[in-house]
Amino acid sequence: MRPLLILLLLICMAAAQAANPGQDEQAFIATLHLGATPHVRYLDAAGRPLDYATFAQQLSQGRRHYSITRDTQAGMAVLRLRPPGAHAGEPGRFALGRGDLFPPFKLPSLRGGMQRLGDFQGRYTLISFFFAECPPCIAEVPTLNAYAREHGDMNFIAITYEDAASARDFVKRHDSTWNVLYDGQALTDTLGIGVFPTLILIDPSGRVAGAAVGMSMEDTPAQRLADLGGWVEQWKAASRQRTQPMHAAPTQQ
């Protein structure tokens, strides 16, 4: 009788969830502490959007975990499934496309306080993802500094998954002038960044305008700066084209 009772109980629970498909998600979102009007997005291991039911189903299959980046003040979060058996620091592939919303974040800055995605909206923002002992990350610092000096109308952020001490040592040893955010492992994993440095340009509305993986260490400093400038201008042009309003064709008389 006991196995039969357990089976009946499971059937009843499944029926209750089917009758209230949003109740389970609401209970889950409540644990994220995003306030009264939360906005949550779910992604699979490849970065593709999922609904909650599919996300929960895949999460329960095998040894699955997820990364989460959030901004509790804005009430926003993005959750991304990791590949089976993967843990923090083992991201899936980078999958954000042009026009995709950049995930929310709230990270500490070496300049003091916490910084959120919303703090940078209204202007183009160039982000460099790095870590302290990464040779190409070190090599690109003079180029990034020079580009920032020439473009005071933009925001510049360098984000590392490492702690404050490592980030501060990097800035001191290599004279980085950018706003450095640290403890960004959750954001890095959710984005699927596994190659460093990675550069991402965000448009003024908070959407991805373009991305690239590092710069060639064999190029001259002048060539690196020219390449970076060319990439950013191409990304800006594509972003402006995407956001241009559609005009109706004139009516022929």
pLDDT value of residue 245: 58
Q: What is the rounded CA–CA span in Å between residue 129 and residue 136?
A: 11
Averaged over 24-28, what is the pLDDT?
A: 92
Q: Would you state the pLDDT for residue 108?
A: 98
Length of the chain: 253
Q: What is the pLDDT of residue 244?
A: 67
Instruction: Note the pLDDT of residue 219.
Output: 80
For residue 144, with 0-12 CB atoms within 10 Å meaning exposed, 13-18 middle and 19 or more buried, which class applies? Answer: buried
Q: Which residues are bridge partners to 50 per DSSP? A: 42
Checking if the pLDDT of 9 tops 90, the result is no
Least confident segment among 30-39, 81-90, 112-121, 199-208: 81-90
Q: CA 24, CA 13: separation in Å to the nearest integer?
A: 11
For 161-190, what is the mean pLDDT? 97
pLDDT surpassing 80 at residue 6 = no
Tokens for 88, please give them: 């923090």
23-243 under CATH 3.40.1190.10, yes or no: no
Give the pLDDT of residue 127. Answer: 98
Which amino acid type is present at position 63? R
| The model's pTM | 0.84
Categorize the per-residue pLDDT at 76 as very low, low, confident or very high, splitting at 50, 70 and 90.
very high
Phi, psi angles (nearest 5°) of residue 106? -145, 105
Q: Contact at 8 Å (CB) between 105 and 184?
A: yes
Q: Which residues contact 114 (CB under 8 A, 6 or more apart)?
A: 106, 107, 108
Each residue's pLDDT tens digit, 104-136: 999 999 999 999 999 999 999 999 999 999 999
- Tell me which DSSP letter residue 42 carries: E
Q: For residue 232, how far is the Cα from the chain centroid?
A: 19
How confident is the model over 196-206, as a mean pLDDT? Answer: 96
The structure tokens 């001259």 sit at 220
| 18 vs 175 pLDDT, higher one | 175
Question: For the chain, what is the radius of gyration of the CA atoms?
Answer: 22
Peptide bond into 197 cis (omega under 30): yes
Q: Which residues of 42-58 are buried (b: 16+ CB within 10 A; e: fewer)?
A: bbbbebeebebeebeeb
| Mean pLDDT rounded to a whole number for the chain | 86
Is a pLDDT exceeding 70 seen at residue 193? yes
More confident residue, 22 or 122: 122
Model confidence over 46-72: pLDDT tens digits?
A: 889 999 999 999 888 876 789 999 999
